[in-house]
Amino acid sequence: MHSSTASVDRVRPVGTKRSNKRDFIVNVFLRQEGHLSADDLVDLIRREDHRISRATVYRTLQWMVQNGIARKVDFGEGRFRFEHSYRHPRHFHLVCKSCGRSFEFLSSDIESLMEEVASVRRFEMGQTVLQIHGTCEACRTGHPQGAEKTTEMLFARDALRIAIATERSGRDFYARAARMTKNTRARTIFQRLSGEEVDHLNKLESRYEELLKQDADLESRPPFLFFKGAANGLFSAAASELNKVSSDLDALKIAIRCERGSYQFFKKYGERFEDSEGKRIFLEFADEERDHLNLLLGELRAYTEKRGRRPAASRGAHSARANA
């Protein structure tokens, strides 16, 4: 996801000397969307300052690649293109062989698979390139394709969809957990969390409607985030597990596992992006999930401390009743 808010002062590596020409070129590059060739960047620079040479632009591009500000990509057109890589998470491209256009997408599932393969093979991953070459819908059907929406808006839309799905699955999970829990204190906690999920869900749905008002076609645009594992909500699979648990403690442990996974998921992806609405959505949601996690961990400590204080004879009687 590209962002126009980054500046050279924020991306300059520590210890690198300031250079007026280089800083100017970097700032122009960071203001652009999409994938630029070296000649594209030369043309942009020359429009603003014709005194800067082509060689200086080329050297600066190489410097940006070496310092992690730009990423070099090859779409098979006989020349390299460059895109932002500062706070720009690993992503992938669909490349049309007819018109040459490229379309970005991000997939947590593909990322996880690559990380798993690298880990098993004890391989340290560096730059990752995944390109799918084919024919885009416009070229295949002959119907002109509308202008691409900024990735920032698509990211915000998809981030809200994932957060909403997670809230819905969390609401259903805690409502079911409250119904099956016999421990009064644990049931109260589950009821409280179910209510909070409903409140958060209403706010997220209102936020989603406000976003759609900015563009009537936004909802129908193709996804940017392909997060299959989160598409139905991160608590959805756990809800069915509640039918198999044998104790309130098991239900509590499932809830903790879900909240921890949800917190780590939203924090991981939120921190990868430059400032944007989608980033804020993910990090706000991560904070909410962290609060829920801390609440549940406190309840788990109280539960285990209470069991630890129970006299041995009482625990034995309780065990006998449970096995009867």
Provide the H-helix boundaries in the chain: 8-11, 20-30, 38-48, 54-66, 108-120, 137-141, 151-180, 184-213, 228-231, 236-241, 248-270, 277-309, 312-323
Domain boundaries, the chain: 1-88, 89-143, 151-316
Beta 131-134 vs 92-96: how paired, if at all?
A: parallel
What are the tens digits of pLDDT across the range 223-256?
A: 888 888 787 888 998 988 998 888 889 999 999 9
pLDDT tens digit sequence for 25-73:
988 888 877 778 898 999 999 998 888 999 999 999 999 888 878 878 7
Let me know: does 71 contact 88? Beta carbons within 8 Å: yes
Q: Are 251 and 177 in contact (CB under 8 A)?
A: yes
Q: Rounded mean pLDDT of 284-310?
A: 88
The Cβ-side half-sphere exposure at 163, using a 13 Å CA radius, reads 34
Asked whether the beta carbons of 189 and 149 are under 8 A apart, the reply is no
**What is the C-alpha to C-alpha distance for residues 285 and 262, in angstroms, rounded to an integer?**
9
Integer Cα distance of 72 and 319 in angstroms? 64
Letter for the amino acid at 157? R
Q: Is the pLDDT of residue 293 over 80?
A: yes
Split at pLDDT 50, 70, 90, the class of 4 is very low
Mean pLDDT of the chain: 83
Residue 175 is predicted with a pLDDT of: 95
What is the average pLDDT across 192-209?
A: 96
What pLDDT was estimated at residue 127?
Answer: 67
Cα dist from 298 to 261, 293, 302, 313, whole Å: 17, 9, 6, 27
158 Cβ partners below 8 Å, 6+ apart?
Answer: 223, 224, 225, 227, 278
158's tokens: 């998809």
CA distance 319 to 286: 39
CB under 8 Å to 202, separation ≥6 — which residues?
Answer: none
Rounded CA-CA distance 57/229 in Å is 42
84's tokens: 């932002």
The predicted pLDDT at position 311 comes to 52
| Dist CA 155 CA 2 (whole Å) | 11
One-letter amino acid at 10 equals: R
Fold type of domain 89-143: Dna Ligase; domain 1 (3.30.1490)
Nearest to 168 by CA among 193, 191, 201: 201
Domain 1-88 belongs in CATH node 1.10.10.10: yes
CATH class of 151-316: mainly alpha
Report the pLDDT value the prediction gives residue 11, as an integer from 0 to 100.
54
The CA distance from 8 to 23, in Å, is 6
pLDDT of 112 strictly over 60: yes
pLDDT beyond 80 at 167: yes
* Euclidean distance between CA atoms 174 and 172, whole angstroms: 6
Compute the distance between CA of residue 162 and CA of residue 234 in angstroms, rounded to an integer.
9
181: CB partners within 8 A, 6+ apart: 187, 190, 248, 251
Q: What is the pLDDT of residues 259-277, one digit of tens each?
A: 999 999 999 888 877 777 8
Which one, of 59, 28, 22, 23, lies nearest residue 41 by Cα? 28
